[in-house]
Amino acid sequence: MNTQQITYAQHQVQHGIPALATAAPIEQDRLTEAQLMREEVEALCSHMLWLRSWWQAHGDGIRAVERQAAASVHDHFIDGAMFARGIARVAGFDIEQDRIRNYTWGRNTQTMHMVMRGAA
């Protein structure tokens, strides 16, 4: 951080944050407990499916480096995604499963070959 950034940050702490704290609350529609819970469960299902997709892309590489660790978490990724898909289907969540399943994760085949050669 340079001196100008520090000075700006100090100014924000001294003048900006107290102003926000004393500002009148913004009126907005509040979610009910049930609505909030539904949104959180939908987000949890989505995150679980993203994790499963990541594991599908990188599980073999991790297995090559650390077989025991991979074995310890494998079923959690698989079972978690299975439960998430079931919940999403029953609850009618609109989760882009094809997009998640086909995400490339920035996988570079050269990097994967290096990992696999190093583990051999």
Mean pLDDT (10-residue bins), the chain, 120 residues = 60 57 66 94 96 93 94 95 96 92 74 56
- How far apart (Å, rounded) are the C-alpha atoms in residues 118 and 98? 32
Among 48, 114, 41, which Cα is nearest to 82's? 48
Tokens 């290096």 -> residue = 114
Per DSSP, the three-state class of 34 is helix
Torsional class of 92: left (φ above 0), alpha (ψ -120 to 50), beta (otherwise): left
- How far apart (Å, rounded) are the C-alpha atoms in residues 29 and 2? 41
Q: What is the pTM of this model?
A: 0.62
